[in-house]
Each structure stands twice: as C-alpha cells, then as structure tokens.
Structure 1
C-alpha cells in the first residue's frame, strides 16, 4: 500500500504555490506509506542547461567542493545548490552524460536529470522528508509525489519513489509487478539498465525505452497494460505534463480532480481537501486500462 499525489497547474500565477499544495497532499497520504517519501518538481528551465540531482548519505563530505571538482573533470562550468542530502548540479546539456559518469564514479546516487526536473526522496515520514528539503518553498508548473510502504524491497533512499530513467521523466507507482525481473532482463538486452531492485524503476525504464524507440508517451503508457503484469496505478511526469494509467482491473484506489486552475491526482480524495476551489472541481475515478494525460 502506497500513496500517490500529482498536481498540474494550468495557470503560471500559481507556480509559487506548487510546493505548498503538493506538500499538504503528500503528508495526507502518510498512513498509506510511512517508510519513505519523494517528490519530483518541474521548475524553471535554463536554455542549453541540464540539472542533475544527486544524493549522498554523507553530504558534508561528498558535496564539499563538488562543483569545482566536477568543473575540472568535464571542462565545463558547473553550478550547485545543496539541500540536505541532495545536491542539484547544473551543467551544459552537451556534457550531461560525462557529468553523470563522473558523479557515479564518486559514489553519488543519481536521482534524476533534466532541463526542469528535480527529484528529492529519502527514508522517513513524509512530513519530515518535506521539511528536510523545504518542499513548501519550491515552485514550478507541476509535480508528482509518493509515500511508500515497502513490501518487496528494502526501505532505502534508492527504493523510494519517484524513479527516473530518462531526462525530465519520472514515475511513481502503487501496486506490484509480477514480471518485473523478466522485463528487467529484456531491457538490459537493449542497453537499458536500472539501479535498484524496485519493480517501479522497471516500469519507468519500460516507458522511457518505448519513447526512445519512437512511441509517444500515450503509446508507452498503453504498452504497460499489455506488457507489464500485475496490478498498478502509474503516474508519470514529463517536462510538459503528467500522465495516469491503471491496470485493467483497477485494483488500486485512485481519484482525480480538475478545475480551471489545475488537474490533481491522489490515491484518496482526502488529499484534495485543502486544494483551492476543490468544492467546484470535477471529480472522478480514472477508468481501468485508460490513459489520461495533460500537458502545457
């Protein structure tokens, strides 16, 4: 049992409120997942630049002069902001692959990368995770979050959601996949590898692999219904929006709400309670085996 939240803002003037609204939604889902929590925020973009989010259990040591060391290694300027156990390094998109290689060689865990996406996740109660990263103060166009109750893998930072296997793309999941090891092997033969034992990362890799092969996001999400066995609700974030799909029997709870200002997703309606204008929202349960997607 896990909790999922997602919020897509239709109006730019609401962007400064994104983190505050998502934090309330995330904390409301605590009893669905008290082990760990995470959130992906889609914020400002700098043309020609990529943000790489990394994590370390020893941030004071790992992040000390990291920006300078990375600048020397990739021969390109680097800027860095440190938030608790995470650091976001901004580099030119032309050196992204080299920068990630260097960061991994230094033993840092890659949370995700992209022009707009930053991912923060840690072990602990959602309210504590949100406080550590200052999520309430983060702005952006949209975001997705997850509270986890671990059932099939250890309670670790790398086991927490969201999972990202492609630039500006990430996934959160409620449910369980029965053929994730088989799919992991298929993806590995294509050169697509995962970093954790979590089945959700396989789902993320499947979607990004399909898109890399030329599928649209909608087609990739439709493919999960055919190719991934088990029960699931997937919510995926992209640079331009977010998508939702449930398994054919819709085993896990899900609800959506839409107003002129936003589209929201949650595992339970109570996560919407404090959203502005929720009393006048169109509220519905997403249909089984049906893809929903909103983009800017």
Structure 2
C-alpha cells in the first residue's frame, strides 16, 4: 500500500504555492506509506542540465562536486538541500560528469536529470522528508509525490519513489507488476540500465524507452496497458506534462479533481481537501485502462 499525490497548475498565479500545496497533500498520505517519501518538482529552466545528486551528507557531496570541478576544469552552480545537491552542468558535459562520478565518487548517486525537474527522496515520515528538503518553499508548474509502505523489498532510499530514467521524466506507482523482470531484461537489451530491483524503476524505464522511440506520453502509457501484467496506478511527470493511468482492473484507489486553475490527483480524496476551490472542482474517479494527460505546448 502506497500513497500518490500530483498537482498540475494551469494558472501561473498559483506557481509560488506549488510546494506548499504538494507538501500538505503528501503529508496527508502518511498512513498509506510511512517508511519513506519522495517528490519531483518542475521549476524554472536550468542552464544546461540539472543533475540531482544524493549522498550520505553535504560534506561528501561537496567533496565530490569539488573533485568534479577540478577534474573537468568547470565551475558548477549548485543548490544544497540536506542529503541532495543539484548541480547545473552544460548539456555537452553531462556524459563526462556521469562517468567521473561513477569512477571517482562511490556513494554518490544521480537521482534525476532535467532542464526543469528536481527529485528528492529519503527514508522517513513524509512530513519529515518534505521538511528536510523544504518542499513547502519550492515553486513550479507541476509536481508529483509518493509515500511508500515497502511490502516486497527493504526500506531504503533507493527504493523510494519517484523513479526517473529519462531527462525530465519521472514516475510514481501504487501496485505491483508481475512481469517486471522479463521487461527489465528486454529493456537492458535495448541499452537501459537500472540501479535497483524495484518494479517501479522498470516502469519508468519502459516509458522513457517508448518516448525515445517516438511515442508521445499518452501513447507510451497506452502501450503499458498492453505490456504490463499486474495491478498499478501510474502518475507520470514530464517537462511539459502530467498524466495518470490505471490498469484495467483498477483495484488501487484513485481520485482526481479539476478546476480552471489546476488538475490534482490523490490516492484518497482527503489528500485534495486543502486545495483552493476544491468545493467547486469537478471530482471524479479515473476510469480503468484510460490515459488522462495534460500537457503544455
């Protein structure tokens, strides 16, 4: 059992409130997932590619960034948040950065990469995780969050959602996939690599692969309905969009609300009650095997 929240803002005037609204939604889902939490926020464009790094502490992260700058003869703009640091790297240097970190900075993981997306996740109660990273102070156009109750694997930061396997792409998941190992092997043959044994990371990799092959976000999610066995609710973020899909049985709870100002998702309605204008929102349960997507063009 896990909890999912998502908020996609149509009204730019609400963008300064994105973090505070998402933080309250995430905390409300604590009893659906008290062991770890994470979230992705789509904020302002970065210079090049923003890489979100995670380490044991800020001292280890600072040492890694300093060594990276010295080795590549570059200077990075950084933003430090608890056990994570975001560095802005030139797009043409991203592969070099990844290679150096892999070879020279054990214990430092790359959580996400994007022009706009930053991902933060840790073990602990959702409210504590949100506070550690100051989610309430973040701004942006949309974000998704997840609270985890680990029923099939250990409670670790690497097991927390969201998972990201593509630029500005991430996914959170409630449910269980029965054929993820077969799909993992298929995707590895296509050149993808995975950091965990988590089925959700496979789902994220699958969507990234389909979109790299030319599928739209909506098309990639529609094909997941054919290729995944199991039960699932996916909430997905991209640089320009937000999408939701449930499996054909749809046994996992889900509710959505839409107004002229936003679209919101929660595993339960109580996650949405603090949103502005919720009393006038169109509230509905997303239908099984139907993709709901909103994108800026």
Q: How far is the alpha carbon of 1:109 from its aligned partner?
A: 1.1
TM-score (norm 1): 0.97
Counterpart among 88, 92, 95 of residue 94 in structure 1: 92
The answer (yes or no) to whether the contact 1:248–1:288 under 8 Å persists in 2 is yes
- Paired position in structure 2 for 1:52: 51
2:225 is paired with a residue whose SS is helix
Alignment correspondent of 2:283: 283
Give a deviation string over 1:4-47, Cα, whole Å, max 9, x none: 00000111121110000000000000000001000000001035
C-alpha deviation, 1:65, in angstroms:
4.1
Asked whether 1:21 is paired with 2:43, we answer no
Question: 2:62 corresponds to which residue?
Answer: 64
Instruction: Find the residue that maps to 1:225 and give its secondary structure.
Output: helix
Q: Aligned residue for 1:253?
A: 253
The separation in 1 between residues aligned to 2:261 and 2:72, in whole angstroms, is 42
Query: C-alpha separation between the residues in 2 aligned to 1:114 and 1:171?
Result: 14
* CA–CA distance in structure 1, aligned partners of residues 200 and 173 of structure 2: 6
Deviations 1:64-110 (A, max 9, x none): 34433222333333111111000101111111122122223312111
Name the counterpart of 1:206: 206
Counterpart of 1:136 in structure 2 is 136
**Cα-Cα RMSD:** 1.1
Aligned to 2:114: 114
1:1-296 equivalent positions in 2, closer than 5 A: 1-47=1-47, 49-57=48-56, 59-105=57-103, 106-107=105-106, 108-296=108-296
| Aligned mates of 2:232, 2:72 — CA distance in 1 | 40
Number of aligned residues = 294
Q: Structure 2 length as normaliser, TM-score? A: 0.97
